[in-house]
Structure 1
Amino acid sequence: MTDSSATDPGGWHTYLVTQESVSAGRSTLEVVDAALEGGVDVIQLREKDASARCRYELGLELRERTAAAGVPLIVNDRVDLALAIEADGVHVGQSDLPVGVARDLLGPDAIVGCSASTVADAKRAEADGADYLGVGAVYATSSKDVDPDESGVGPARIASVVDAVSIPVIGIGGITAENASPVVEAGAAGVAVISEITAADDPKAASERLATAVHR
């Protein structure tokens, strides 16, 4: 497991969610290596279109890299995969295993995050034992399972959720270095991105720009 100071979601400012299909022809490992050099605080293994075996093998390599960097590794959806690669935790959605079940399977020291787009979802996830919330999609995005023509919930929803819960909130969905500041100003601990880093010409520089925007 990663050092406890790094596994506090309240200290996560830049959160990379992997997805090789939008990585401009690069491998996820290449992107993650660059992002870690650029200072991201946490990596989530997503890879929705990969097989379980491919995600497992990739996860083992990511586990080595993130452990060496002292950065937490979170697995999207799959509690079994998180256990198999000894990840730091799992992030579940509203249609995945319930937060409480994930907690029972992973144990009290694991990180369990939950996606929430409404205040009601957020309150329920907190009550069930989530360590942090991923709230969005904040802005229009083609990376998440939302209509790209919709404008997203906006920073105002981030503020509403932050006011309603006591656990850290991470904004996700359509976030870039240019529009990250309002998300943090609304109370988010940090921001999670996919294409802002993975599709960038220089993922390391993109990670640095995003971190600068969040801290600013």
Structure 2
Amino acid sequence: MTPVDLSVYLVTDADQCGARGRGVAETVAQAVAGGVTAVQIREKHADGGDFLRTVTEVAAVLPEHVALIVNDRVDVFLAARAGGIRVSGVHVGQSDLPPAAVRELIGPHAVLGLSAATAEELHAAARDPAGVHHVGIGALHATRTKADAPPSLGLDGFARLARLSALPAVAIGGVTPADLPRLREAGAAGAAVVSGICAAEDPRAAARAYALAWGRVPTPSRERTSA
């Protein structure tokens, strides 16, 4: 499995991107120029055809070093891969297909992320023979982006859960740049960001703020490639 840099992990929201007069692909391109290292396409209300078109458009603007992960829809991931689109893997939640079933469908080399919010869910992920690649732990703070988000953990709660997992852990849910130094100290592999970038007036500047807070300095060559 190709290593994935999860440090500044953009999760897209089409409504928030559209409210700023941008499409998802344009927002992603600007955010990657600012330092985003991985992108998850989340389309809760799109049908399969529209979702696949968005994945295709985003893949076209991503440089090779940035992973492209499909939220929930294993069928969209498989369709994209069959069509020659560079997709890295799938992220699923606790109420989606079981990780073992997903792994059987996507094969041994694709990235598989799993949402987790409790110690029991983290232990189950670690025991699962499917080979979960990383876990998303949240919600870090209260968020309106995800209607069914679990109660907020806070930084201390995230740190406690991250210590229980041998898998790389990404924080999600209302994450701000100010949170990133403490998340890194707590052992996080990265931070997943939705509103902080999708709803920003300048996604490139917003992404750069997260990258700098994590301790990354985007290189000029990458910014030119992604612009």
Given residue 85 of structure 1, which amino acid in structure 2 is its aligned partner? A
The correspondence for 2:48, drawn from 42, 52, 56, is: 52
Q: Which has the higher contact order (CA 8 A, sep 6+)?
A: 2
Partner of 2:136: 134
The correspondence for 1:36, drawn from 32, 46, 58, is: 32
Distance 2:47 2:132 in 1: 27
Given residue 29 of structure 1, which amino acid in structure 2 is its aligned partner? A
Partner of 2:10: 16
How many Å apart are 1:164 and its aligned residue?
A: 1.5
Q: For structure 1, which runs of at least 5 residues remain unmatched after alignment? A: none
Distance verdict in 2 for CA 1:163–1:147, change over 3 Å: closer
Partner of 1:194: 194
Is the CA contact 2:11–2:194 (under 8 Å) kept in the aligned structure 1? yes
> How high is the TM-score relative to the length of structure 1?
0.90
Q: For structure 2, which runs of at least 5 residues remain unmatched after alignment? A: 82-86, 217-227
Is the CA contact 2:69–2:88 (under 8 Å) kept in the aligned structure 1? yes
Is the CA contact 1:116–1:134 (under 8 Å) kept in the aligned structure 2? yes
How many Å apart are 1:156 and its aligned residue?
A: 2.0
Is the CA contact 2:12–2:194 (under 8 Å) kept in the aligned structure 1? yes
Is the CA contact 1:137–1:174 (under 8 Å) kept in the aligned structure 2? yes
Partner of 2:225: none
Q: Which of structure 1's runs of 4+ aligned residues deviate more than 3 A?
A: none
Given residue 19 of structure 1, which amino acid in structure 2 is its aligned partner? D
How many Å apart are 1:127 and its aligned residue?
A: 1.6
How many Å apart are 1:100 and its aligned residue?
A: 0.9
How many Å apart are 1:146 and its aligned residue?
A: 4.0
Partner of 2:89: 89
Given residue 50 of structure 1, which amino acid in structure 2 is its aligned partner? A
Partner of 2:69: 74
Is the CA contact 2:42–2:71 (under 8 Å) kept in the aligned structure 1? yes
* SS at 1:12 equivalent: coil
* SS at 2:91 equivalent: strand
CA RMSD for the aligned pairs? 1.7
Report the count of equivalent residues. 207
Partner of 1:63: 59
> How high is the TM-score relative to the length of structure 2?
0.86
